[in-house]
Structure 1
Amino acid sequence: MKLRLALLLVALLAPVFFVVPTYASVDDFTISNYTIDYLLSRDAEGRSVLKTVETITAEFPDFDQNHGIERAVPLSYNGHTTNLAIDSVQHADGSSWNYTTYTSNDNAVIRIGDAATYVHGEQTYVITYTQHDVTNYFTNTNDDEFYWDTNGTEWRIPITHLSVVTRISDGLQAALNGNTSCYVGFSGSNQPCQITQDGSVFTVSADNLAAGENVTTAIGFRPNTFTPYQKTTWDKFINIFKYVWSSLVVVGFAAIFWVPLKWSSVVSRKKEIGTVVPEYIPPKDVSVT
């Protein structure tokens, strides 16, 4: 798959003092329903923008095993940043979940739940986030494509039902070229699946996905529909900052080793030559007046 959307969905580990039965595991729960709603549009510069709303319904055991879930969303696409923004993480009723984020393997990992509270039975997580520059031009098909892994290939939880809806904004409908495709399975799978179109809405569904299985969709547009990725002023600043910071780190480490060695050399030299008394004697046959 051209884009491995490494979306990790795992249970948060229980505290070490909790003894999990030998037959139990933090992965011993299921996702009964997983819906993903995409809205693909363009910004004022013609660059692609993707608004994603994921609704994940998990079925947890009745005993104390899990605190919540983790969802990892890639920070880059096709070698550049997507300027990911997490908009909200909510319950089905619209109230907010407690969550934190951290970075791992170029993913933003959303850890949802409370370390002091276990979750039981049915729990729903609604995650909304926005990404930019999510399309690419492919020379072999001569079109711009939204080619996207949906639920991802690196989670360890089976999914009973997955539904993916991709909505194309009004300003992009005329640019659709009719090329669509869908694949299901483990990473690298070319097993086709059915994608249906109703105007500017594309729908894919799959049942009984094993842990690690993913659905990939591709929707084609005419060439030059989207402006290719270009570094923003902020991106350029970040790159310069990283370069300067890396240089300072190298210089700092060098100084850590060089200064003690230099000091040791100076001290040793002083001990070797002792005190030197200057003598201001004029050269032979040269007057000082």
Structure 2
Amino acid sequence: MKKLKLLLAALSFASLVALPAVASADVNDFTITSFAADETLSRQDPQGELHIVERINVTFTDYNHGILRAIPDTYKNHSLQLHVNKISSESGAATAYTSSGSSGNTVLKIGDPSRTITGPQEYTIDYTVRNVITFYKDHDELYWDVNGDQWQQPFNRVFVSMKLPAGLDYLAQPLCYAGGYGEKGQGCKVDSGKGAFSVSTTAPLSGNQTLTYVASFDKGYFPRLSPHATYSDIV
């Protein structure tokens, strides 16, 4: 199953060049102390819409301009129709951003090219994506990588809380995995209640490891469109 890959990299003090160079050159310039996401699933899109608010805490050990955040453009050949609602920072880091395409991702370059920062910083990224539900013969499924496996840096902690829409509940206890691409490590836990669940790591993640969850639902809540139809075709 194709996994969503979400990437964060530091914009170095010395270099503002292409994404791969930044990701590899600045691997030791910052640490990711916490990645916490609040997610809300809805039927705003017939094939599922996720409203995501990510709070990313980093510690820059050198002077940096900000961060790069790359979000996939597609999932299972469907456009995710990314819409960025707001970017903010409680620590006062610059949150102006530009976006560009790179290797199937929309890359958000967040920060001020004329100003550098160091030490602990916090970034909040509020966005929505669509077409997130996968349809199977006997159930529908949401399979989501929370932080993604493309990071060079380790994570001290990754956490996500999920709120389901009224009238929808999961068929069974959601599953979680922690590890590299294709791995199903169990260094995570799920806490569930009616209409909501949360998933968290139970140990730090190394570089190129991600927290993933899988939630299955009864068929029928999300109306499956024809293979050639999209939400934009029917509004």
TM-score range relative to shorter protein: 0.7 to 0.9
Larger Rg: 1
AA aligned opposite 1:167: K
Q: Which runs of 5+ in 1 are unaligned?
A: 17-24, 237-289
Change (3 A) 1:108 1:200: same
Cα distance, 1:233 vs. partner?
8.0
What aligned pairs does 1:1-289 form with structure 2 within 5 A after superposition?
Answer: 2-15=1-14, 26-28=26-28, 29-43=30-44, 46-61=46-61, 63-64=62-63, 66-92=64-90, 97-139=95-137, 142-173=138-169, 176-192=170-186, 193-206=188-201, 207-229=203-225, 231-232=229-230
Identity %: 32
Q: Which residue identity lines up with residue 218 of structure 1 in the other structure?
A: V
Alignment partners' CA distance in 1, 2:190 and 2:160? 10
Query: 1-side partners of 2:231 and 2:205: how far apart?
Result: 42
Quickly say closer, same or farther: Cα 1:179–1:225, change in 2 above 3 A. farther
| CA deviation map 1:230-273 (0-9, x unaligned) | 5348569xxxxxxxxxxxxxxxxxxxxxxxxxxxxxxxxxxxxx
4+ long deviations beyond 3 Å: 93-96, 232-236
Return the structure number with greater strand share.
2
1:75, 1:108 within 8 Å by CA — same for their partners in 2? yes
Q: Residues 33 and 59 of structure 2 are in contact (CA less than 8 Å); yes or no, is this contact kept in structure 1?
A: yes
**Counterpart AA for 1:145:** E
Distance 1:108 1:229, change over 3 A: farther
Q: Which shows bigger deviation, 6-15 or 98-107? A: 6-15
Matched residue SS, 2:204: strand
Deviation at 1:97, TM superposition (A): 0.8
CA distance in 1, matches of 2:232, 2:140: 26
User: What TM-score do the two structures reach when normalised by structure 1?
Assistant: 0.71
Given the superposition, is the C-alpha separation of residues 162 and 129 from structure 1 closer, same or farther in structure 2, using an over 3 Å criterion? Answer: same
CA 93–235 in structure 1, closer or farther in 2 if over 3 Å, else same: farther
1:169 Cα offset (Å): 1.6
CA contact (8 A) 1:8 1:155 kept: yes
Return 5+ residue gaps in structure 2 as ranges.
16-24
Q: Check conservation: 1:3, 1:149, Cα contact below 8 A.
A: no
Structure 1 residues 197 and 26: alpha-carbon distance in aligned structure 2, compared to 1, 3 A threshold: same
Which secondary structure does the structure 2 equivalent of 1:208 belong to?
A: coil
Contact map agreement 1:89 1:96 (CA 8 A) in 2? no
Q: What's the TM-score, normalizing by structure 2?
A: 0.86
- Determine which structure has the larger helix proportion and give its number: 1
Flag the 1:150–1:14 CA change in 2: closer, same or farther, 3 A.
same
Per the TM alignment, residue 3 of structure 1 is displaced from its structure 2 partner at its CA by 3.2
The letter of the residue matching 2:209 is E
